[in-house]
């Protein structure tokens, strides 16, 4: 399995299984001298951790982070940073009854066929528990972005059939509702939809929207590492993701060029665009406008309703979820999307430092 690392200049490698002893991440490429305390990371992990409300899994994990290397006296050393999160509420016995059964829309079948051996305890490496490592690493990246005045805001855009239509978002209200939707009335409707699906033993999917503000012009490495291309790669690596849209997305395909083009203007002595259908990226390079994108997530695959499947011998089997799972992943996916956006942005900031001769201290 060689796909456990992400990033160019700010590179992370995650490790651990859902019901193993611990999860963790190694960060390579973080600049030395960055003020970094456990509390900076813990704040982000607390937003993602399970058991926050009746809308999430009942698994109780404190997700207390331990900094094992790369930091001395609350400052980064420039050497690899190792972060560890111990699993405290693992229940591998919950999965004994399905050890040899392929759960619908899970990674059981594909992992077994690819590797010949798999961890059936909550999906092992395929579990969304792995995203705790990403959130921890994303919190370190955020410390760099904070110094640069760059902010990343993700929020719930859709759950099931309930959609947020607001075009103006109050970012300060995102955390005021367990759904993480910034519109109180829409948030209540989303909560009711999740609770209804949960009471039926079912689940819901949805969409997380994200805005990156304060970006400079010039981030992105055409042609294969365009800014939005790396965002798409990052977002679609998250468990349960099924779609990615930047700017106008699919809706933009229904518009005419005269409607979709973003005219350039001068705003407060700076070049800007009067609309932002491009989503802040043109030619794969940030143009200084907010980068906006949406990430679609499928309904949680583990449900309480009985489902038809087969076992490893090809015999018919009935699958009924008995573990602890989110009836909807969207509320907890919000900080995960933010974390991956943090990582992409920091990588491109560091990459951009060598775009010209002047940037590396050389003159022609």
**Nearest partner of 277 among 250, 241, 244, judged by Cα:** 250
Banded pLDDT at 364 (limits 50, 70, 90)? low
Would you say residue 361 lies in a domain? no
Q: What is the pLDDT of residues 19-58, one digit of tens each?
A: 889 999 999 999 999 999 999 999 999 999 877 777 877 6
Give the H or E element holding residue 139. helix 131-148
What's residue 92's pLDDT? 64
Enumerate the β-bridge partners of residue 23: 16, 85
Domain that holds residue 280: 5-351
Would you say residue 135 lies in a domain? yes
What's residue 59's pLDDT? 67
Would you say residue 195 lies in a domain? yes
**Averaged pLDDT, 175-191:** 97
What's residue 86's pLDDT? 96
DSSP category for residue 285 = E
Looking up residue 163, the CATH number of its domain turns out to be 3.60.150.10
How confident is the prediction for the chain on average, in pLDDT? 94
**Averaged pLDDT, 196-216:** 98
DSSP states of 141-196 as a string? HHHHHHHHT-EEEEEEEEETTEE---SS--GGGGGGSTT--SSHHHHHHHHHHHHH
DSSP states of 189-249 as a string? HHHHHHHHHHHTT--B-EEEEEEEESPPTT--BTTTB-HHHHHHHHHTTSTTEEEEEETTG
Q: Are 17 and 119 in contact (CB under 8 A)?
A: yes
What's residue 109's pLDDT? 94
Phi-psi region of 277 (alpha: psi -120 to 50; beta: other; left: phi over 0): alpha
pLDDT greater than 70 at residue 363: no
Would you say residue 340 lies in a domain? yes
Top mean pLDDT of 72-81, 86-95, 313-322 is at: 72-81
Q: What is the pLDDT of residues 228-245, one digit of tens each?
A: 999 999 999 999 999 999
pLDDT greater than 80 at residue 181: yes
Domain count of the chain? 1
Give the H or E element holding residue 72. strand 71-72
Would you say residue 356 lies in a domain? no
Would you say residue 357 lies in a domain? no
Would you say residue 363 lies in a domain? no
Global pTM reads 0.96
Would you say residue 146 lies in a domain? yes
For 40, residues 6+ apart whose C-beta sits below 8 A from its C-beta are 139, 140, 142, 143
Query: Locate tokens 């665009």: which residue?
Result: 273
């Amino acid at each position: 399995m060689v796909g456990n690392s992400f990033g160019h200049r700010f590179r992370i490698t995650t490790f651990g299984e859902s019901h193993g002893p611990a999860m963790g991440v190694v960060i390579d490429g973080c600049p030395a001298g960055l003020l970094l305390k456990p509390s900076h990371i813990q704040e982000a992990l607390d937003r993602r951790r399970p058991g926050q409300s009746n809308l999430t899994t009942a698994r109780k994990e404190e997700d207390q982070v331990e900094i094992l290397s790369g930091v001395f006296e609350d400052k980064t050393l420039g050497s690899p940073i190792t972060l560890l999160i111990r699993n405290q509420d693992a229940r591998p016995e919950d999965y004994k009854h399905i050890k040899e059964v392929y759960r619908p829309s899970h990674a059981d079948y594909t992992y077994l066929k690819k590797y010949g051996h798999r961890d059936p305890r909550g999906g092992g490496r395929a579990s969304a528990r792995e995203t705790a490592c990403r959130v921890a690493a994303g919190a370190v990246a955020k410390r760099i972005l904070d110094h640069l005045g760059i902010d990343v805001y993700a929020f719930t855009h859709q759950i099931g059939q309930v959609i947020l239509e607001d075009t103006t978002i109050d970012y300060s209200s995102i955390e005021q509702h367990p759904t993480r939707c910034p519109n109180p009335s829409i948030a209540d409707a989303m909560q009711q939809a999740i609770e209804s699906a949960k009471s039926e033993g079912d689940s819901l999917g949805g969409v997380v929207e994200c805005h990156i503000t304060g970006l400079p012009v010039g981030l992105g490495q055409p042609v294969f590492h365009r800014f939005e291309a790396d965002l798409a790669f990052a977002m679609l690596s998250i468990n349960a993701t099924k779609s990615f849209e930047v700017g106008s997305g699919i809706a933009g395909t229904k518009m005419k060029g005269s409607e979709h083009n973003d005219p350039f203007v001068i705003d407060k002595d700076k070049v800007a665009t009067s609309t932002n259908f491009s989503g802040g990226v043109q030619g794969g390079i940030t143009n200084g406008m907010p980068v906006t994108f949406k990430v679609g997530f499928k309904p949680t695959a583990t449900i309480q309703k009985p489902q038809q499947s087969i076992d490893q011998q090809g015999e018919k089997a009935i699958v009924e979820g008995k573990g602890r799972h989110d009836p909807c992943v969207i509320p907890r996916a919000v900080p995960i999307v933010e974390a991956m956006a943090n990582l992409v942005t920091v990588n491109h900031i560091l990459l951009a430092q060598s775009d010209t001769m002047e940037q590396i201290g050389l003159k022609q």
